[in-house]
Amino acid sequence: MVEYDSPQLDSPQLDSVFQALSDGTRRRMLRSLSMQPRSVGELAAPFQISLAAASKHIKVLERAGLVQRRIQGRTHLCQLRAEALAEAERWLQYYQQFWSERLDALELALRTEPIEPAKGKNK
């Protein structure tokens, strides 16, 4: 078995990222922001939610470090900070490698194990 680094388990930042990603509205907001910065109004529009509700979602994303908000006049522009996903990606990578190794071992065992006829069945 290959040795690899264990992910950080007790990380407030990682907790914040997964908590932010736990909501479908916030995930869709992040997808929208991956294309270009958007105003709070633009982020709220597809969901038919109030600006106050959208702002609450954006604050969760900001606390997780996934979004940066800047003010231009009266407009609040939000921009994706994808680098904040790096710790979550490392955490997920650990388990991807964990399961890949186990599934590879299972496949090898199934390919090399001789097939025995079923006992107790007459044809």
How many angstroms separate the CA atoms of 103 and 87, rounded?
A: 25
pLDDT at 92: 85
How many angstroms separate the CA atoms of 112 and 41, rounded?
A: 59
Specify if 120 maps to a domain: no
Supply the range of the domain harboring residue 21: 9-113
Instruction: Please give the model's pTM, rounded to 2 decimal places.
Output: 0.71
pLDDT at 35: 95
Residues of the chain with pLDDT under 70: 1-10, 113, 118, 120-123
Q: How many domains does the chain have?
A: 1
Specify if 77 maps to a domain: yes
pLDDT at 46: 95
Beta bridge partners of 75: 72
CATH number at residue 52: 1.10.10.10
pLDDT at 3: 47
How many angstroms separate the CA atoms of 94 and 110, rounded?
A: 25
